[in-house]
Amino acid sequence: MRDTEPRHLVCEDGAWVDEILLGGSDGDIVLHLGGPVSRGELRRLVAEQHARFAAAGLVKGGALALRLPPSLDCVTAMLAGWRIGAQVALLDYRLTTHEVGRAIARLGPQLVVEPVGDVPGTLRGFFEISTRVTPLRGGRPARTPHALLQLSSGSTGPSKVIGRTVGDLLAEVERYSRLDGFPRRGERIVLLASIVHVLGLVGGLLYGLAAGVRIVLPTRHTADSIFRAVALDPEPTTLLGVPSQASVLAAVQSPPQLPQLVRMVTGGEILKESVRERFTTGYGAGLGAMYGMTEAGVIATDITGGTLPGLTPVPGLPVRVQDNQILLGLAASPYVGQVDPTRYVDGWLRTNDAGHLDPDTGLLTVNGRLDSQISIGGLKVDLSEVEAALCALPDVADAVVVHEAGIEAFVIVRSSVSAGSLSQALAARLAPYKRPRTLHVLSELPRTATGKPLRQVAALRAAARAGAEV
């Protein structure tokens, strides 16, 4: 991409959508959702949505909420809202009616776009839907200059409203374009991360449209469907998703030959070394990782997997570590509404993530959440260390460790191993004060909408009561 600074001057009227995201030759194939979508076709569909929203009363400076699953309608509705110059709030389509009501009350949009009827199916990569546009009485124009509003994942507590300006989004797209090894024009991204969350939205959809990288959404998030999406065309292909999806692919016993698969890059949580080894061996392709957050997008990466666990901070985003906490230099607070005032101070966002910045190599190592560090009888315990020890056991596929009255572990196993056997195996790896007092074997870990393991004790215990061995 060219320098984005002059473009920021025209962001207010939505011209950036036509110039940066929709510009180019009509015949270029930019998306593939069950079939190819050309740039000319995408422009036509966005113009239709633009007219539809304008007829419903949406104008520059207005506010629009989208509660849509990954779909062509979701893409065109988002781009049309921005083209008008409106603020677009993205709500995960899997939210309950109660959760949607609470979110709408917090955001106060003038229009809500939703599917007509229920959205069926699980593990779908994209959906074919019809939508309805509902004007809301009492809806308000945008109260902040942000083009995008999102809710944080809520993996450890209530969601926060996070706002990003057009300048923020374009700056992140520019950072992706400067990453060594990230897809370039003429290549493809098979996108497994949801387009309504920051990784899939900016690193996938917006970057792909701006950089000429074709974005392919598989029909389903199953191994066979992902393989078919990769094999669809011969261009060099990158999978972009989360570690749990890499785990699914790494578990395939005899993966097919996919010479166009160059790499997979994951974000959202720490990538386990055992998964990386199985994936790279099985597919002959790299498995890289990135660290980011909804508030700022991508922060540090290892696209090729050659420096893990160390990550290279992305260009253009100041990063430092103070008192073991990762801090980000941002021009303004990303939060909309009430939030802990200590999170953003003097131009620095406190991430609540523990980390170390190597003074010699410049690599950033992310060590998990700061709230994972607890005291047991005056002795410090890092719950991420306990998780790592559990996941290193041959029979453990995944684990979440939390602390309330004591340390509790919730694990997914690969075989019929008992909780007692796991506890005995763990005894050889961890000091007694670090071991879980209670260990639950679950059939499935509860996760947030972005695929992160949920760490709320009440939700984990409810999953355990639903059919766990303790």
Q: Among 369, 400, 428, identify where a domain stops.
A: 369
Q: Both 365 and 423 in a single domain?
A: no
Work out how many domains the chain is built from and give that number: 2
Whether the CB-CB separation of 239 and 230 falls below 8 Å is answered with yes
Q: Among 349, 369, 389, identify where a domain stops.
A: 369
Q: Both 99 and 210 in a single domain?
A: yes
Q: Both 335 and 392 in a single domain?
A: no
Residue 428 lies in a domain: yes
Alpha carbon 209 to its chain's center: 18
Residue 366: closest CA among 408, 406, 310: 310
Q: Among 351, 369, 387, identify where a domain stops.
A: 369
Beta-carbon count within 10 A of 319 CB: 21
Alpha carbon 263 to its chain's center: 18
Residue 363 lies in a domain: yes
Residue 68 lies in a domain: yes
Phi, psi at residue 145, to the nearest 5°? -80, 5
pLDDT in tens, the chain (470 residues): 433 333 333 345 789 999 999 999 999 999 999 999 999 999 999 999 999 999 999 999 999 999 999 999 999 999 999 999 999 999 988 777 787 888 898 899 999 999 998 887 778 999 999 999 999 998 999 999 999 999 875 544 457 899 999 999 999 999 999 999 999 999 999 999 999 899 999 999 999 999 999 999 999 999 999 999 999 999 999 999 998 899 999 999 999 999 999 999 999 877 888 889 999 999 999 999 999 999 999 999 999 988 888 999 999 999 999 999 999 999 999 999 877 888 999 999 999 898 999 999 999 999 877 777 777 766 667 787 888 888 888 888 888 888 887 898 898 888 778 888 888 888 888 888 888 988 888 888 887 766 677 888 888 888 888 764 44
Q: Both 337 and 449 in a single domain?
A: no
- H or E element, residue 277: helix 273-283
- Residue 456 is part of a domain; what is its CATH number? 3.30.300.30
Q: Both 332 and 241 in a single domain?
A: yes
Helix (H, G, I), strand (E, B) or coil at 361: coil
Q: Both 418 and 278 in a single domain?
A: no
Whether the CB-CB separation of 16 and 166 falls below 8 Å is answered with yes
Q: Both 325 and 458 in a single domain?
A: no
- Residue 248 is part of a domain; what is its CATH number? 3.40.50.12780
Q: Model confidence over 339-351: pLDDT tens digits?
A: 788 899 999 999 9
SS3 content of the chain, % helix, strand, coil (to 5): 30, 30, 40
Q: Model confidence over 122-174: pLDDT tens digits?
A: 789 999 999 999 999 989 999 999 999 998 755 444 578 999 999 999 999 99
Cis status, amide bond into 309, omega within 30 of 0: yes
Residue 440: closest CA among 419, 454, 424: 419
Contacts of 192 (CB under 8 A, 6+ apart): 125, 200, 218, 221, 226, 239, 240, 241, 242, 245
Residue 312 lies in a domain: yes
Residue 470 lies in a domain: no
Query: 367 vs 187, 269, 312, 354, 434, CA distance in Å?
Result: 33, 11, 15, 5, 17
Q: How far apart are CA 33 and CA 72, in angstroms?
A: 7
Q: How far apart are CA 298 and CA 173, in angstroms?
A: 9
**Domain range for residue 132?**
1-369
The angle subtended at Cα 61 by Cα 60 and Cα 64, nearest 5°, is: 95
Q: Both 72 and 143 in a single domain?
A: yes
Residue 173: closest CA among 216, 142, 146, 213: 213
Q: Both 350 and 460 in a single domain?
A: no
Which tokens sit at 470?
Answer: 């303790």
Whether the CB-CB separation of 263 and 288 falls below 8 Å is answered with yes
- Burial label for 359, CB within 10 Å (0-12, 13-18, 19+), is exposed
Residue 343: closest CA among 289, 414, 405, 294: 294
Q: How far apart are CA 219 and CA 433, in angstroms?
A: 47
Q: Both 214 and 88 in a single domain?
A: yes
Q: Both 364 and 309 in a single domain?
A: yes
Q: Both 68 and 213 in a single domain?
A: yes
Q: How far apart are CA 252 and CA 245, in angstroms?
A: 12
What are the DSSP calls for 219-251, one per residue?
SBSSHHHHHHHHHTSSS-EEEEE-HHHHHHHHT
Sign for the pseudo-dihedral over CA of 102, 105, 107, 108: positive
Task: Compute and round to an integer the Cα radius of gyration of the chain.
Answer: 22
